[in-house]
């Protein structure tokens, strides 16, 4: 890698972290993609990142076809587009070589929700933890994720003051730092109150709502680890992530004939088309139930 390329990548890292305020994980991923391009033959033949032509960039991306999923290739292209747009914006390049490059068609993967019974089991089964505070936190956490459909990042970003006991609602900051108010069902409210009673102390309103074992803010990674522990405790063997609970929440609301627009608002989706995918999930579940239950369906 040339000194000019290292300098360009350093500027890009600062741009992502400071001007775009991307998360450290996203910054690492985007910078890593640019470093991979800088180390490739196409870039070396061109004489550096600022001299890469559209044909060379297309050739570079083509080598990943068939080796990676479309979603992975789309993320790679997004990172390179962000880099070259940054270079054009600062005047380092006159033309963006990624402009007009089509990305692969994304896979259409339907979410696979848990059944209502499995969600109930995950939340209600007695905890095997010796620490009552952690046991109460786990129940409150999963009751809240399934009862409100929050993204895991939204849940761990909550502070105690974001929870209104009187109005039974949460003030949540979602994608793009947009704020929305989410109602809390009665059982999730009760779980939260029981957990907070174990934590009563001065200044609690300014503290994170969910704490880890060191009494610091629980991370997204921490939630995933806690969930895997809980799944083992209750004997659920299928693959489940925190986002599965969000999918389950939306699908079960739709099964209960809740208006799609209301579900959109509750989930914090900007576009209704994002929420509409759950209609396909429900249709698929109905078809599966029909095939399993109806005697005339077995010959199809």
Annotated active-site residue in 51, 69, 243, 291: 243
CA atoms of 22 and 28, how far apart (whole Å): 10
C-alpha angle 68/71/72, rounded to 5°? Answer: 45
Annotated active-site residue in 73, 137, 230, 246: 246
Tokens for 106, please give them. 């994304």
Residue 109 a catalytic site member: no
Please answer whether residues 123 and 147 qualify as being in contact, where contact means their C-beta atoms are separated by less than 8 angstroms. Answer: no
Residue 225 a catalytic site member: no
Residue 243 a catalytic site member: yes
Work out the number of other CB atoms within 10 angstroms of the CB of residue 254.
21
Tokens for 278, please give them. 């759950």
Annotated active-site residue in 51, 175, 215, 225: 175
Annotated active-site residue in 36, 187, 269, 285: 269
CA atoms of 134 and 138, how far apart (whole Å): 6
Annotated active-site residue in 151, 230, 247, 252: 151
The rounded Cα 132 to chain-centroid distance in angstroms is 29
Residue 278 a catalytic site member: yes
Q: Please name which of 244, 251, 250, 208 lies closest in space to residue 227, comparing C-alpha atoms.
A: 244
Point out the residues that are catalytic: 151, 175, 243, 246, 269, 278
């Amino acid at each position: 890698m040339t000194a000019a390329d290292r300098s360009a990548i350093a500027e890009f890292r600062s741009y992502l972290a400071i001007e775009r305020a991307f998360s450290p994980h996203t910054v690492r991923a985007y910078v890593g993609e640019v470093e991979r391009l800088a180390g490739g033959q196409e870039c070396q033949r061109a004489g550096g990142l600022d001299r890469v032509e559209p044909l060379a960039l297309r050739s570079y991306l083509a080598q990943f076809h068939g080796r990676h999923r479309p979603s992975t290739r789309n993320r790679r292209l997004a990172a390179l587009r962000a880099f070259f747009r940054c270079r054009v914006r600062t005047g380092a390049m006159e033309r963006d070589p990624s402009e007009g490059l089509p990305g692969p068609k994304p896979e259409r993967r339907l979410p696979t929700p848990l059944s209502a019974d499995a969600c109930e089991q995950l939340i209600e089964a007695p905890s095997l933890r010796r620490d009552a505070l952690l046991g109460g936190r786990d129940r409150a956490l999963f009751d809240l994720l399934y009862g409100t459909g929050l993204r895991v990042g939204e849940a761990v970003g909550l502070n105690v003051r974001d929870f209104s006991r009187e109005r039974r609602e949460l003030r949540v900051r979602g994608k793009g730092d947009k704020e929305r108010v989410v109602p809390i069902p009665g059982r999730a409210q009760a779980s939260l109150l029981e957990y907070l009673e174990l934590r009563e102390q001065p200044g609690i309103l300014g503290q994170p709502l969910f704490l880890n074992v060191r009494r610091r803010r629980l991370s997204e990674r921490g939630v995933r680890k806690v969930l895997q522990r809980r799944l083992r405790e209750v004997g659920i063997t299928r693959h489940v992530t925190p986002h599965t609970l969000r999918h389950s929440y939306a699908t079960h609301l739709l099964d209960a004939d809740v208006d799609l627009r209301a579900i959109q608002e509750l989930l914090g989706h900007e576009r209704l088309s994002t929420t509409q995918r759950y209609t396909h999930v429900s249709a698929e579940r109905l078809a599966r139930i029909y095939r399993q239950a109806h005697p005339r369906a077995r010959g199809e």
